[in-house]
A = this chain, B = another copy of it.
Amino acid sequence: MKAEIIAVGSELLLGQISNTNARYISSQLAELGIDVYYHTVVGDNPARLVESIQIAENRADLIIFTGGLGPTKDDLTKEAISSHLGKRLVMDDHALFYIEDFFKRMNRVMTENNKKQALVLEGCTVLENKHGMAPGMLLSTDKHAYILLPGPPKEMEPMFQFEAKPLLQKLLHKETIIMSQVIRFYGIGEAELETKVQDLLEKQTNPTLAPLASDGEVTLRLTAKSATEDDAWQKIEELQAEILDRVGKYVYGYNNDSLASKLREILIDHSLTISAAESMTAGLFQSELAAVPGMGEALVGGMITYTEQIKVEQLGVDKQMIASKGVVSSECAEEMATRIKEKFGTHIGIGITGAAGPDGHGGQPPGTVWIGIALDHMAPVSYKLSLSGMRNTNRLRAVKFTIHYLIRLLREQKELKI
């Protein structure tokens, strides 16, 4: 099966946003073993959209559209397909009810044009939108399958994953089982990782091996095809064992794990509680932890001590120490960690202080970060980062590193006497 992805929206052609939807759908189709030969982006123009559909029909079996399902008159994807295929648009009562209910719950007035979102192509399978209003569609004709998805990634991704993908799997009528596993790394660069698995990247065809880097993390995706699940899984396990043998010490998790979700597991498993005092990151560390459901069992809370005065008066950091060592120092990070741990009565205390940029802070150049960790039964420890990114990249990197650093430290406490 050959696929083409058509993204509809003038904002893409004006360069206001990137076509991240095409990337997401392509990676999902790759897992299903469906070849994507083209991506097309076309504006909110019915004639040009229809021409794009005609071109796509000549070179693909499956055409996936994103965007143009909303309430405004610029949204015309289903209208163009309707006129091109000669299929009527009909009101879907379930979708209409959901849209009306959405406005009720938000306490907002529903304008008439919102109803348009509940119109669907006659004879299609409706794909429910659990995170927005416009439903998606799957329509099959003799020669082609058409999938229509909304444009906002927050609506499109779950709709593809939970509504469209299972239908595609059925459509494929394939006996081949495709399984994949993502190995997540932290603390190793993409180039270095690739060098260490170069021979595997070159010779591996089943499972295939694909590296990807983002936000200081690197992943390797292993994808195996086989007649049975057991065999596909065995293929993955064999290759994974080889990879772990070489670069296992940088692995922090698998698949949907995040650094924060791995930390939560460790904290919950050992009934550990945590608090943090944040200066430069101003709450981002605790917010990243709280992004994981159920973190409340471990995260007690903490303080944001943006000014020196608050560090001293509210957290109880020693004023003399700051005067001699500065707020961006090993000593200050460790004392922040120790004070918050004592004050909030937790097993673990974290202190983060630094200069996010663009300016320096506390006599240190921008990008300097000190991370302090206080645990029971051991002296506090600290670690210095010298980051070179922009302000908010530095803040996020500091938070990710802190989580990683804490995970490693906790794993090293073999008996976890903390």
The chain B residue sitting closest to A219, CB to CB, is B16
- Cα A276 to Cα B38 in complex, Å, equals 49
Task: Please indicate the chain B residues that have their CB under 8 angstroms from the CB of A303 in the complex.
Answer: 301-304
**Does A231 count as interface, using CB distance less than 8 angstroms?**
no
Q: A18 to B23, Cβ gap below 8 A?
A: yes
Which of A77-85, A185-193, A407-415 is near enough to bind chain B?
Answer: A185-193
How far, in Å, is A95 (CB) from chain B's closest CB?
15
Q: A40 to B40, Cβ gap below 8 A?
A: yes
**Does A25 count as interface, using CB distance less than 8 angstroms?**
yes
**Does A14 count as interface, using CB distance less than 8 angstroms?**
yes
Q: A131 to B283, Cβ gap below 8 A?
A: no
**Does A144 count as interface, using CB distance less than 8 angstroms?**
no
How far, in Å, is A267 (CB) from chain B's closest CB?
13
- Cα A24 to Cα B17 in complex, Å, equals 9
- Cα A41 to Cα B14 in complex, Å, equals 17
Which of A26-34, A120-128, A168-176, A243-251 is near enough to bind chain B?
Answer: A26-34
- Cα A293 to Cα B30 in complex, Å, equals 41
**Does A380 count as interface, using CB distance less than 8 angstroms?**
no
Residue interface bits A351-367, CB-to-B below 8 A is 1, else 0: 00000111100000000
- Cα A52 to Cα B58 in complex, Å, equals 12
Question: A40-B38, A283-B290, A306-B290 known; A189 and B108 CB under 8 Å?
Answer: yes
Q: B43 to A40, Cβ gap below 8 A?
A: no
How far, in Å, is A124 (CB) from chain B's closest CB?
23
**Contact among B28, B221, B344 with A310 in the assembled complex (CB-CB below 8 Å):** B344
Task: Please indicate the chain B residues that have their CB under 8 angstroms from the CB of A24 in the complex.
Answer: 15
Which of A316-324, A369-377, A386-394 is near enough to bind chain B?
Answer: A386-394
**Contact among B106, B114, B190, B389 with A131 in the assembled complex (CB-CB below 8 Å):** B389
Given contacts A111-B195, A154-B393, 11 further A-B contacts (CB under 8 A): A12-B22, A14-B221, A15-B36, A19-B19, A38-B40, A73-B194, A109-B192, A114-B191, A281-B287, A282-B301, A302-B304
27 example contacts (A-B, Cβ-Cβ < 8 A) are as follows A10-B210, A14-B30, A16-B212, A18-B18, A19-B39, A37-B43, A38-B41, A38-B48, A71-B190, A71-B191, A73-B201, A105-B388, A113-B191, A131-B393, A278-B283, A281-B290, A282-B290, A282-B295, A283-B287, A284-B290, A296-B306, A296-B307, A301-B307, A301-B310, A302-B304, A303-B304, A314-B343
